[in-house]
């Protein structure tokens, strides 16, 4: 079971990395189109700003999952409690996990369920009724980035606990070098 969790985390990490690269490229291309159209033709297309903005949202949230997986995120507890022998390391990891769960679980919950209960009032359902003005697509496609990113972070957190830290970090580092 541990190997399945670590493998799933590593596989999702690779998919998220490719998706993040794609969204950065989409953002860059649409911004360049907007710049050229604005200064060369004095008429930028209205859709480029929305695509760049929504690409930036996806890039940021996918980038957060990549940073979390590779321990490149801001790790406050390591600066307060440097890694110590086994038992203190477990305590520090437990405090970090509690902080992560305290933040991520309510976000995921309220993406699907509203304040008074019921799926019809959850964040995603409220967004599904809205459309992007210039693109005409449901806003839920952009809003899905929030629960997807947080669920990926939870998977990476499970992988941290499922295998020794050196195994999951080395797996990610080795796949990035290939």
Query: Over the chain (178 residues), what is each successive 10-residue block's mean pLDDT?
Result: 92 97 97 94 89 95 93 64 64 85 94 82 88 89 95 95 59 48
Half-sphere exposure of 12 (CA within 13 A, CB side): 26
- pLDDT for 9: 95
What's the pLDDT score for residue 129? Answer: 87
How many folded domains does the chain comprise?
1
Residue 70 is assigned to a structural domain of this protein: yes
What is residue 117's predicted lDDT score, i.e. its pLDDT?
78
Per-residue model confidence (pLDDT) at position 178: 44
User: Is 165 contained in some domain?
Assistant: yes
Closest Cα to residue 158, out of 168, 172, 146, 144?
A: 168
Specify the pLDDT at position 88: 65
The DSSP output letter for 131 is B
pTM for this predicted structure = 0.81
Domain assignment of residue 113, yes or no: yes
Domain span at residue 99 reads: 2-173
* Residue 38 within any structural domain of the chain: yes
Q: Do 138 and 131 touch, CB atoms closer than 8 A?
A: yes
Asked if residue 178 belongs to a domain, the reply is no
Residue 92 resides in a domain: yes
């Amino acid at each position: 079971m541990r190997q399945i969790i670590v493998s799933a985390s590593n596989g999702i990490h690779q998919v998220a990395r490719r998706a993040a690269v794609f969204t950065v490229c989409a953002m860059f291309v649409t911004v360049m189109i907007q710049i050229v159209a604005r200064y060369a033709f004095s008429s930028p297309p209205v859709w480029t700003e929305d695509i760049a903005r929504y690409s930036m949202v996806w890039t940021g949230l996918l980038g957060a999952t990549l940073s979390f997986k590779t321990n490149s995120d801001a790790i406050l507890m390591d600066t307060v409690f440097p890694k110590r022998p086994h038992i203190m390391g477990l305590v520090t990891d437990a405090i970090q996990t509690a902080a992560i769960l305290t933040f991520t679980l309510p976000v995921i919950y309220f993406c699907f369920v509203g304040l008074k209960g019921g799926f019809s009032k959850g964040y995603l359902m409220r967004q599904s009724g809205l459309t992007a003005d210039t693109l005409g697509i449901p806003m839920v496609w952009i809003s899905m980035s929030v629960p997807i990113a947080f669920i990926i972070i939870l998977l990476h957190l499970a992988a941290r606990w499922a295998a020794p830290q050196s195994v999951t970090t080395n797996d990610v580092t080795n796949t990035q070098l290939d």
